[in-house]
Amino acid sequence: MTSMVVNGKRGGQSLVLKGVDPETCMIVFKNHWAQVVKILEKHDPLRSNVGGLGGGHGLGGGGGLASFRFGAIPGDEASAVQNYVEHMLFLLMEEECGQNGAMGPILEFVVMENVLERLFIWSLRREFTDDMKLEQLKMYEMLIGQAKQPLLHHKPVLKPLMMLLSSCSGSPSGPSSSAVETELVLLLNQLCCVLAKDPSVLELFFHTSEDQGAANFLIFSLLIPFIHREGSVGQQARDALLLIMALSAENQVVAKHIAENTYFCPVLATGLSGLYSSLPTKLDVPSEEWHCLHREDWQQLPALVQFLNSLEFCNAVIQVAHPSIRDQLVGYIHNGFLVPVLAPALHKLTLEEVMTTTAYLDLFIRSVSEPALLHTLLSFILLHRHDNVHILDTLVSRINTPFQLGTVSLALFRTLIGLHCEDVMLQLVFKYLIPCNHMMLSQRRVLRERDCYSVSAAKLLALTPSCCSPEVIPPPLRQLDSILWSKGTDGSHIGTMESKEVLSEEDDCGNSCVIGSEIYLDVSYLDYLCDAQNSISHCIRACCVWSAPYDGENPPPEEYQRSTLEEADLTATPGLLELEWDDSYDACPTQPHPEEDQETRPIPDEPPKHIQELRRTAVMIVKGSYIEESEFQNDVMVYDLVAQKDAHDSGNGYHAPSKPTEPAKQEVLDGPVTDQKTANSESLMSNGLSSPLDEMDSKKRGSQSEHKSLEGEDLMAQYEELIRTLGAQHSSPAKADGELKSPTVLMDDEEDEIDFNSFSPETPETEKLPSPFGTKPRSGSRGHAVPFTGPFLSVLLSRLENMPSNSLHVNLLLTGILAQLAAYPQPLLRSFLLNTNMVFQPSVRSLYQVLASVKNQIEQWSANNKDFPELLTAAQHSLLARESSLRADRIKKNPTIQPKTVVPLNETEVYATVLFTEFLKELAAFAQEHSILSYPPTEQ
Amino acid sequence: GISDGEEQGGPGEQRSSPTHPPFGKKQLPSIPKNAVPITKAASPASSTESANGTHASYGPFYLEYSLLAEFTLVIKQRLPGIYVQPSYRSTLMWFGVIFIRHGLYQDGVFKFTVYIPDNFPDGDCPRVIFDTPVFHPLVDSVSGELDVRRAFTKWRRNHNHIWQVLMYARTIFYKINTMDPLNPEAVVLYDKDFQLFKSKVVDSVKLCNSHLFDQPKIDDPFAISFSPWNPAVHEEAKDKMFRWPEDYNKGPLVSGLSWVKPGSTQPFSKEDIPLQT
């Protein structure tokens, strides 16, 4: 009925009113009111006692609502009142202000006669049903929204409104209907809008609340229950709350009230925990390529949408609210959500759960923008310890996990590095580079030098595999273009320049090197240069807020060598054994801590429980493992070996790496794993043994674990045993083929070549196993601090070294992250990644060394595969098609033409080769752009 | 030759390539315009050629960036009274102008061009040629070429930089050196009749300044050209110059994050952050 009033009659009514003079309106209003009063008084329970006209005002102190209700009110009288009231409201709304902002006569009458309060009591007199509430709520909504003069300043208007609101909050008959809630929130939102426009009303709201016996900010308290509500009601409530938050920034009373007398912050923060608990604990991963939650992904998950809405709201509150509210909220989020909920979730028992939590964490970080909230999230990651292990260390150690957890972790780090946050970069990278232990002492002074002559770029580009040399690539793909190379020799008075058009090799005097006027340039390289310039200058500007330049002088290396930094760190960094999955140290055959540390520090008998569990489930995943998991400290080694064994058991030697989708591997996946339905097979394969390289890898890890393992001797014995059996098994089919030579991994020529015959049964001892890294400290070097660039860089480089066997998307992530790092202008990092002339300590693997190793793997591979060039061309076409389809996706869904021959994605070497070549260009471009960018004045 | 630790590393057979000067004369085979691209797979044996290939395709980038790096160094030096600008057509040619603020050549405004050899930084030293031959013992009275070589007998990469040449070109006007002159007449006057020398210098300065508003000698969009003050043209440019530092910071707002207290290497060591324990 009321809605009909609100929506239907209003238009007509106001039209009618237009020509009518105010006096007539006043007369009509009074008339209506007189009629209403008649009916009201007829049913006034107090009338007989008091007898006066205005006697029934006020609710009285403790009188329950029910006490007013006696005797049924006939329906015709109720609707008569309603009809009159409708007309009266229109008259009130349409009334203009009086002169000088005085009340118009109708409003004055309303105030004098206390019309609204009496109407509210009337509605209480009748059954105070949801319909009644709705009617009243809509009445006020209309009045506040459409009245032409301010109403809320008048207590006789405000008071009944507050009574109505409190009756909605304290409804004894259980929760109100959703219609009432919707209307209530709408009205509250409207009131907040009025507050935002006219803060002077605020005072009145507080005072009126006090009249009600509770010194609370009723509007605000009523909104709190709707904070986490989904849909438009929740959105409206949050918008309204934000208006109040903005008010709080300027109004100390409001801020103090919210912080001290309301549950706003706890509700908000613990609400996050509640919403988080309803998120799926395992995600249905769409494909093996998947590694982070994009908008398309999370929009499919209503629970996640709701969580993000609330998180976004927290972000907004922190942005606008008073610092006291901000600090309180941030504290509750840390203590009420991150620590009790997210930390355990990051240490769940199964890979899928942990992976899912990691993806959520990544999404959360990407979803917030307020520094204070980022501060909370980041300090949780960097400083919080779960089971005595820093979250960050756990996350870093997971980069090297097989399965999708590794790539999801990589994606998280991509996000973290993209924040340009000094604290993050300090913990991940700079902490380890500041002491300058990773380089030769003499190199410190060249740390800041720029590569004036693009020497590093040239060295990087010279690693281009021969099969990918710009001239070998057939025309459609090779982006060579002839560019007019003018030498600016217009000045005819310059003698030597006259020969410029001549194509000739010149004399020895070096005076006039003559080149052709046209040269073929790799024009795609121009794009890399352009991108590099943008990334670097963006990064430079972002890093302006950092505390130090990290240039090898500030912070001073001496102060952080061993004594201070590392000791400070001892308590902070967990022992290796506590890190799950960790073989991140493999890339650098050293330990971050000298042996003494490990010996003096009490090492727990067993790793934390969650790690044991995780390990157990992981081992269960791999079918038919004949190795007791407890015998190994190094999980990844377990994976490698078990996967190898499986491959052999099914009768397929690993010698056919060009066909990685062998049944053997399928079988590995079809095992008990199947609840993990998606093909994270790829990541298992990529980590597992599609090439003999991996065996070397595991060998490497094996000898590595010697350092790590407490029961190293036992472990090594078992390991060798395993290697021996494997070696014996696989050598026969290889020999039968009579074709496959033991592939070798070419290291830099000063290092030993790997002879895979050493895996034969005759030479099982470790001593005879050549180390892939000639300089690796053997047992003798235990107990000495060995230069180390930190687990993060090490693990990145170690994964990069496996580029040929990594799947495409892993390589895209890896190279992407390294490119992000390469954009950082800090000389410590820049010189480590891009200065190919730096001399590092022998135990430190540089990016350049790793790239050289990848190049050699590729050269080997291409030399042994006749159809490599064709595959390579096809892969380049596939990648180009992929890129254009991604681009088309962004604009509109438009199916793009597929290349004729599609190279299967499991031909990882082929894709890796293409990617490697492009990555070299990308890095070279970074090196060149760093050399010419003018840094901010601070560098002066 | 080869210098400065270029010889470390380099995997095996590839070693030969990067150690060569990036733009050395032997490094850059002339590529016939209509060369047929090789489509066959390269055997390992061809890898050295391929390294050359990389050089042929990227060599010009190395040269370009070497020169840009030199230019960046010049800017960083903030040489007093010297302005240079690479030409539009080639980074191997820079236009410049020197303002002499005191001494014998006071009020002189000398335009010049720097020519950089295209095997930079492994070739000869750059040449500096004044647009109008200044009367000076070290400046050729016909060609206007400055004797740069006396200061840079051998151009050494990493040690010699173009800003030094520019600095040298300025210094000669403040401190006259009469040894082995390119302009013997000037030296004779300098030694024998200093007054005449001085008046010849004054004449030369006048002559140079009288040609100030001439069209640039080399037709290039980036050539330095002077014109009388014209508010319609110059006022705006001047304003822009004075506003530069503000404009520079106005770019799209990007801010990184840092809660590290200066002087500390502990994350979240700044104090003015919300406590959360």
Kindly report, residue by residue over B96-131, the tens digit of the pLDDT: 999 999 999 999 999 999 999 988 889 899 999 999
What confidence score (pLDDT) does residue A46 get? 63
ipTM, two decimals, is 0.78
CA distances to A500, A518, A681 from A503, in Å: 8, 10, 56
What confidence score (pLDDT) does residue A98 get? 76
Instruction: Give percent of chain B with pLDDT exceeding 90.
Output: 55
Smallest CA–CA distance, residue A248 to chain B, in Å, is 18
Residue in A closest to B126 by C-alpha: A511
Question: Among candidates B159, B70, B21, which has minimal Cα distance to A459?
Answer: B21
Choice among A244-258, A519-533, B228-242 with the minimum mean pLDDT: A519-533
The more confident residue out of A299 and A18 is A299
Q: How confident is the model at residue A891 (pLDDT cuts 50, 70, 90)?
A: low
Chain A residues with CB-CB distance to B14 below 8 A: 462-463, 855
| A371, A455, A521: residue with CB nearest B6 | A455
Interchain CB distance below 8 Å, B115 and A568: no
Chain A residues with CB-CB distance to B70 below 8 A: 452
| B15, B40, B58: residue with CB nearest A522 | B58
Q: Is the pLDDT of residue B80 over 60?
A: yes
B269 by Cβ neighbours in 10 Å (0-12 / 13-18 / 19+) ranks as middle
Residue in A closest to B94 by C-alpha: A488
Interchain CB distance below 8 Å, B54 and A462: yes
Q: Let me know: does B166 contact B82? Beta carbons within 8 Å.
A: yes
Interchain CB distance below 8 Å, A459 and B274: no
Strand order in the sheet with B82-86: B82-86, B93-99, B109-115, B127-130, B145-146
Distance CA A826, CA A816 (A): 18
Token code pair at residue B174: 């403040």
Instruction: Give percent of chain A with pLDDT exceeding 70.
Output: 61
Q: How confident is the model at residue A123 (pLDDT cuts 50, 70, 90)?
A: confident
What confidence score (pLDDT) does residue A60 get? 38
Interchain CB distance below 8 Å, B255 and A544: yes
Write the single-letter amino acid at A100: N
Chain A residues with CB-CB distance to B117 below 8 A: 511-513
Residue in A closest to B127 by C-alpha: A494
What confidence score (pLDDT) does residue A697 get? 41
Distance CA A912, CA A893 (A): 28
Distance CA A161, CA A183 (A): 14
Smallest CA–CA distance, residue A325 to chain B, in Å, is 11
Q: Which residues of A326-341 are buried (b: 16+ CB within 10 A; e: fewer)?
A: bbbbbbbbbbbbbeeb
Q: What are phi and psi of A840, to 5 degrees?
A: -100, 165
Interchain CB distance below 8 Å, B276 and A546: no
What confidence score (pLDDT) does residue A650 get? 42
What confidence score (pLDDT) does residue A493 get? 35
The more confident residue out of A919 and A296 is A919
pLDDT per position as a tens digit, A828-881: 999 999 999 888 888 899 999 999 999 999 999 988 888 888 888 888 888 888
Q: How confident is the model at residue B162 (pLDDT cuts 50, 70, 90)?
A: very high
| B65, B124, B273: residue with CB nearest A931 | B65
Mean pLDDT of the region A137-142: 89
Smallest CA–CA distance, residue B62 to chain A, in Å, is 5
A567 by Cβ neighbours in 10 Å (0-12 / 13-18 / 19+) ranks as exposed
Q: What are phi and psi of A132, to 5 degrees?
A: -65, -45
The more confident residue out of A825 and A626 is A825
What confidence score (pLDDT) does residue A373 get? 96
Q: How confident is the model at residue A797 (pLDDT cuts 50, 70, 90)?
A: very high
Distance CA A814, CA A792 (A): 12
Smallest CA–CA distance, residue B263 to chain A, in Å, is 7
Mean pLDDT of the region B141-145: 94
Distance CA A308, CA A314 (A): 10
Q: Let me know: does A735 contact A811? Beta carbons within 8 Å.
A: no
Q: Is the pLDDT of residue A763 over 80?
A: no
Interchain CB distance below 8 Å, A382 and B267: yes
Interchain CB distance below 8 Å, B18 and A335: no
Q: Let me know: does A18 contact A150? Beta carbons within 8 Å.
A: no
Q: Let me know: does A661 contact A741? Beta carbons within 8 Å.
A: no
Mean pLDDT of the region A915-939: 83
Distance CA A439, CA A427 (A): 19
Token code pair at residue A899: 């290349």
Token code pair at residue A466: 């021969």
| B10, B66, B267: residue with CB nearest A454 | B66
Q: Is the pLDDT of residue A349 over 50?
A: yes
Q: How confident is the model at residue A532 (pLDDT cuts 50, 70, 90)?
A: very high
Q: How many CB atoms lie within 10 A of CB A659?
A: 12
Q: How confident is the model at residue A629 (pLDDT cuts 50, 70, 90)?
A: very low
Chain B residues with CB-CB distance to A518 below 8 A: 33
pLDDT per position as a tens digit, A723-751: 444 444 443 333 333 333 333 333 333 33
Q: Is the pLDDT of residue A813 over 60?
A: yes
- CA angle A609/A615/A617 to nearest 5° reads 105
- Return the half-sphere exposure (C-beta side, CA atoms, 13 A cut-off) of residue A509: 5
What confidence score (pLDDT) does residue A814 get? 96
The more confident residue out of A12 and A477 is A477
Distance CA A397, CA A395 (A): 5
The model carries a pTM of 0.72
Token code pair at residue A595: 């042996």
What confidence score (pLDDT) does residue A126 get? 72
Q: Is the pLDDT of residue B276 over 70?
A: no
What confidence score (pLDDT) does residue A539 get? 94
Q: Which contiguous run of DSSP H or E holds residue B110?
A: strand B109-115
Interchain CB distance below 8 Å, A375 and B129: no
A200 by Cβ neighbours in 10 Å (0-12 / 13-18 / 19+) ranks as exposed
Smallest CA–CA distance, residue A2 to chain B, in Å, is 50
The more confident residue out of A303 and A102 is A303
Q: How confident is the model at residue B67 (pLDDT cuts 50, 70, 90)?
A: very high
Q: Is the pLDDT of residue A361 over 80?
A: yes
Chain A residues with CB-CB distance to B17 below 8 A: 462
Distance CA A158, CA A136 (A): 13
Token code pair at residue A487: 């030498």
Q: Is the pLDDT of residue B160 over 70?
A: yes
Distance CA A116, CA A110 (A): 7
Distance CA A842, CA A844 (A): 5
Smallest CA–CA distance, residue B242 to chain A, in Å, is 17
Distance CA B22, CA B120 (A): 9
